[in-house]
Amino acid sequence: MTKAGLPHSNPASDASAAGSGPALRQFVVKVHSRCDLACDHCYVYEHADQSWRGRPRVMSQDVVAQTAARMAEHVIAHRLNTVHLVLHGGEPLLVGHTRLRRIAQEFRSALDGLCRLDLRLQTNAVRLDEQFCEIFRAYDIKVGVSVDGDRTAHDRHRRFADGRGSYDRVVGAVQLLQESRHRNSFAGILCTIDLENDPLRTYETLLALDPPKIDFLLPHATWNTPPPRSGPGATPYADWLITIAEQWFAAGCPVPVRLFDSVLSLLGGGPSLVESMGTDSVELVVVETDGTFEQADSLKIAYPGAPAMGMTVFSHSLDEVAAHPAMRKRRRGIAGLCTSCRSCSVVRMCGGGLYAHRFRAENGFDNPSVFCRDLKKMISYFQDRPRLVRASRQTDAERS
């Protein structure tokens, strides 16, 4: 599963409870721990942490109810206006129609009247059908679909265990979400970058699917398992993204691209829109199918047990989770970054990249991102193009 498409929240609009630490506002809830695809780039099953093997397949209704109760308790304590929740996996649609309805009902009921619940679901879409779409509509669930490009690009990794590609099923699901009665449930497309795929062809293919938003994600990598083609001086990921950005600007920014919009927002002094950039405080926690709290699950690529916190929804409150040393360490902003990042000219925009991408076995996370050169080049590209930035702002204003 690719990372959840969590939007940026607005802490300024929420009051903090006197005497307690910063609030958590973003929740990734793993309602199913297995998947119907066997993607070879999956961080859940194909990387260092294999904790999924010991977890229940499906989150029980008891765990769902207790998670919802913890969230309600936290919302009240911190007087939050909005919380963001992504139903995630594995593959969340594996829970089936009946259970998905019960899960959505539980979270909606627990938070009704307390705050706005931005409820989302991130799926490979292989099982997405009319009945699921009815549930999305009934419970106002916004759905993100993982699509890596055209058939060749998508099926390069996103295959069933028997080797069949999933492209046709996914495109069929996207077409269903495009229908006017379901369109409001379609949140956008998440695309994991693979340098084997032509950037413009990938972008044009995704654009043709008419998503309300596109997001590009760097592949997961660490200093011990570096990304492909990351030799000295090389910036292949920046080059891939800049090729798309050139086309995007030239066409008048026809669709929001979350990564680009995030850089533009940060350059304009605004917030980051993605977890992988900026120095905003970490507000995200994961709940696994057994009710275990974990840090961002991209940490699964670092080493076995890397996201673990030793806390569960039954034994710990979200304030206790927020006070965990690992969470506090990641809430120190620029001061919590390594020496190179602290003295970097683009640190406020980059923020050292995704936390997991800083990992090196010898010294943990006290490093720049393994994508450092790419991030710096991409940010510099946007910095050097004030005219294009102004044009995109104008487009934003026209959109709103």
Judged by the rule CB under 6 A, the positions of this chain that interact with ligand SF4 are: 1, 35, 37-39, 42, 44-45, 89-91, 124, 158, 340-341, 344, 346-347, 350, 352-353, 368-369, 372, 375-376
- Supply the minimum distance, in Å, between the C-beta of residue 344 and ligand SF4: 3
Angle at CA of residue 288, ends 284 and 294, nearest 5°: 45
Taking the complex as a whole, how short is the minimal distance between the CB of residue 146 and ligand SF4, in angstroms? Answer: 6
Which one, 83 or 209, has the nearer CB to ligand SF4?
209
Q: What is the distance between the alpha carbons of residues 312 and 66, in angstroms, rounded to a whole number?
A: 10
Taken as a whole, the chain contains a residue count of: 400
**Alpha carbons 138 and 178: distance in angstroms, whole number:** 17
CB of residue 400 to ligand SF4, shortest distance in Å:
30
Considering the complex, what minimum distance in angstroms separates the CB of residue 368 from ligand SF4? 4
Measure the CA–CA gap between 195 and 219, rounded to whole angstroms.
10
CB of 374 to ligand SF4, least distance (A): 9
Short-list 397, 395, 287, 385, CA closest to 33: 287
CB of 45 to ligand SF4, least distance (A): 6
**Measured between alpha carbons, how far is 180 from 156 in angstroms, rounded to an integer?**
31
Smallest separation, CB 266 to ligand SF4 (Å): 12
Q: Which is closer to ligand SF4, CB of 44 or CB of 117?
A: 44
| Shortest reach from residue 215's CB to ligand SF4, in Å | 15
Give the Cα separation of 282 and 135 in Å (integer). 31
| 211/351 with CB nearer ligand SF4 | 351
Closer residue to ligand SF4 in complex, CB, 90/211: 90
> Encoding tokens for residue 100?
């998905």
- Residue 371 CB, shortest distance to ligand SF4, in Å, is 7
6 closest CA partner among 298, 318, 327? 298
Return the SS3 of 121: strand
Contacts of 230 (CB under 8 A, 6+ apart): 221, 236, 370, 371
Residue 272 Rama label (left phi>0; alpha psi -120 to 50; beta): beta
Q: Which helix (H) or strand (E) holds 287?
A: strand 284-287
Q: Of 10 and 340, which CB lies nearer to ligand SF4 in the complex structure?
A: 340
Based on CB atoms, which residue is closest to ligand SF4, 41 or 393?
A: 41
Closest CA to 136 of 82, 81, 179: 179
- Cβ(283)–Cβ(25) below 8 Å: yes
Give the residue ranges of DSSP H helices in 251-371. 258-267, 318-322, 325-329, 339-342, 347-350
Closer CB to ligand SF4, residue 68 or residue 218?
Answer: 218
Query: Whose Cβ is closer to ligand SF4: residue 312's or residue 369's?
Result: 369
Residue with Cβ nearer ligand SF4 (41 or 324): 41
